[in-house]
A and B are shown apart, each in its own frame.
Chain A
Amino acid sequence: MSEILKVTNLNYRYDKSKGDILKNINFSINSGEIIALIGSNGSGKSTLMNNITGFLKPTSGTVQYFEKGFSKYDVKQPFASIGYSPQIQMMDWYSDVFDNVILGSLLFGNSIKESKRLSSEALKKVNLDAQQLIKKLPETLSGGQQQRVQLARAIVHNPEFLILDEPTVGLDVESAEMFLQSIQEAKVTALISSHDINILEKYADKLLFIDKGEVLYFGDLQTFITKYSTQGYKSIVFTSDHTPKITDELTAQIINFKLDNNKVVVLAEDVTETVKILIKYGTVDEILELKKSLRDIYYEMKVSK
């Protein structure tokens, strides 16, 4: 896998009088990888994407692309290798849906005939190929449909690197999964920012977690989940007729627990103490390790900060 993009010591500030929005960001992306970019609102995700797409100039540091990472790199149109769907609805609101997508293809040197064919294909990929929809003005569509138009425009010229800022906003689960699956199957390199962490976990290879403009984690997604899951919770299945007493005693002894019928979920470090209490009033049948999802870890990290 060749390196496609390298971000080195990237700092960015909108206003000289204010602090850096991005602080010393470092990471690189190889061809074929799907990177999940997560972080809370205002953490700098969109600013990072705008630096990566060249719409913003770094205050210091570099964002470099390597031609050898692309198979169809065009020196005269380097931006043609990239498909970008920003957070804003970047559309010509006075042109219909089909024409909006066609323009995305025409801009990268395709003929009108070819652009029409590519646009039909792109609209199919985002599940928006109904004739009655593609001849409508974007403003008459729902938010989710507008998002699909934007995504179709980003992929219409078959770019090798997709940069998608909140692509699943407004999309139903089925359409979001279908779209991301098509990216995965096409083996397109992609940097995807989203709050839809469950979906990202399913399709991403790597994770870029930023907070307050700094990288908290960059690396293999599964390694991240495994690492933080070990500090996870355990579920203890028990049999007892004295649940209220167990509840009282757990409350007195343990800060965090969740009791649901014959199952109590506690932090791994509290398992021994919990088992002692449960044995006093019944029997312990099973102790299960709960594997945390990326979403769980993300929210825990947010709460702990």
Chain B
Amino acid sequence: MINAEDFRNNSHIGMIAAVKFMVISEFNAYKTSVAQLIRQILSPVLYFIFLAQGLGALISKISFLGNDVDYKTYVFFGIFAYILINFFSESIYRTTVDKRYGLLAFKLQSGIKPLYYVIGGGIFSAFSMLCQTLILFMVAVFFGIKVHITLYVMAVLFAIVSLYFWRSLGVLIAIGIKDYRTRDLIMTFGVLPLSFAAPVFYSLDHSPLLIKLVASVNPLTYQIQAIRSIAFGKYSIFNIGISLMITIVTILITNVIINKLNISLTER
């Protein structure tokens, strides 16, 4: 005998099945939108070509963790921030749809554990990020950016770990969103300023105090600095450590909150 209210806690389809399900469902949603596919591939490339190349013509060197580095290379890795923020938007977007139409409740009720929902839902994004960074790498090489391949691969892998911070934060925020209007408001006034308040195109070393303060509470700052430090072979333990810690903590918090969440098919 089982009580209906215990369906959710008693259901467990297993990690592999749950992750497979999430990957397929994200892929299915993705494949119907060719425009989105093109946007995801082209946007970082265009950012790089027009911003890194344009600004690179004016600035040759920039200070990074006390060292002068090539500005174009600096901005090239700054584009990773743009990619991460895009996946954050994507995560909010997809989870809002899942929640709004009862699919989140249905998935949890059927045995997808919250952790697998977060992890599995990010795998397709991680694959997508691999493709984006590969194309970006080829474009960078074409424009004469010198990148160490091994360090680049390590930086990309670290970016994928950081992606899970944004994936779980996106899920967490979307759970609290009641309607599309709130979602759009968060997208406009929350997501966009994140990339401006992080050292994507500028250096924190010579920034005004206010910018330093704002950047210091922006997770993207630590992630982008960590990615750059790996790519430049400097390995900033502080930035890498903070980035890893916030990723783990956010995933855990999201897991706990979804577990305690009263799931319903519709918002009341």
Contact = CB atoms under 8 A, between A and B. Distances in A.
A82 to B, nearest CB: 8
B4 A63 contact: yes
Interface string B11-32: 1111001001100110011001
Interface in B193-236: none
A90 B265 contact: yes
B101 A96 contact: no
Interface string B247-268: 0000000000000001111101
A53 B109 contact: yes
B101 A109 contact: no
A53 B4 contact: yes
Interface size band for B: 35 or more
Contacts of B106: 84, 90, 107
Interface stretch (A64-72, A181-189, A243-251): A64-72
Contacts of B10: 75-76, 78
Contact of A96 (B12, B28, B102, B263): B28
B3 A92 contact: no
B264 to A, nearest CB: 6
A90 B100 CA distance: 9
Contact of A107 (B7, B13, B98, B265): B13
Contacts of A303: none
A107 B107 contact: yes
B17 A64 contact: no
Interface residues of A, number: 42
B110 A65 contact: no
Given A54-B7, A78-B11, A88 B266 contact: yes
B170 interface: no
Rank and list the top 8 A-B pairs by shortest CB-CB distance, nearest first.
A54-B4, A94-B29, A54-B7, A63-B4, A95-B28, A99-B28, A90-B102, A57-B5
Contacts of B5: 54, 57-58, 63
A90 B107 CA distance: 11
Contacts of B268: 14
A69 to B, nearest CB: 10
A89 B1 contact: no
A191 to B, nearest CB: 12
A84 B1 CA distance: 20
B101 A79 contact: no
Interface string A68-110: 0000000111111000101011111111100100110011110
A178 interface: no
Contacts of A268: none
Contacts of B33: 94
Given A90-B106, A92-B28, A137-B32, A52 B4 contact: yes
A112 B24 contact: yes
